[in-house]
Structure 1
Amino acid sequence: ISNSPEFCELFVLRILSTCFFQLAPGASKDKMKELCDYIIRILDTYFPQYYKNRKARLTAPLDIPLVQKAAVKILILLVRTRAIYPVGRLMSRRQRRRG
């Protein structure tokens, strides 16, 4: 892997997709919303053209598992359409009422 802005961007997208799809499920709704806000803020601030990254395509000739490529692509679509919030709510655990 060579160092380039596209690879750096892809690396960040892979980390964010891992956080969203692997680590966050089961978190509280508040924490999930916080994660969604963070993902959007990072991408909009530091990688405003993230959705145009040629390395983030499913057909890109990279030595990355197809599942990770798909997770990145799905995250890109969720962020661009702002569907990340409802999907995040679905993935979060329900708040239990105490009393």
Structure 2
Amino acid sequence: MLEKWDGQIREVAIDSAWGTNRAGHEIFVLLGEAYGSGMPLGYILIKSIGRSKPDSKTSLLVQFLQHFRDQYTLDPKFTLSDKDFAEIGACQTVWPDAKHQLCF
């Protein structure tokens, strides 16, 4: 999908399914928008039970998003997330010039 729509994806959204399983895994999806249609670009599964280092989830999300930026030259003008500080921080780190918007 990324190769087909290269350079035409102007907006991406990141979101997760949190607290939906007992194993403590959180799945994140990166969605892209091109010509009015949304498409899943990638997924990452993060184990989020127990103590972890501060900002460890943000660090993993930054690496995840950097892959799309570097491998596929993904350079959105807008990023979108809910009020998860890890998602917001990751988007702003990887695409500092993109306007970040929050879901209502």
Question: Do both share a fold (TM > 0.5)?
Answer: no
Which TM-score applies when normalising by structure 1? Answer: 0.32
Relative to the length of structure 2, the TM-score reads: 0.31
Q: Which structure has greater strand proportion?
A: 2
- Structure number with higher helix proportion: 1
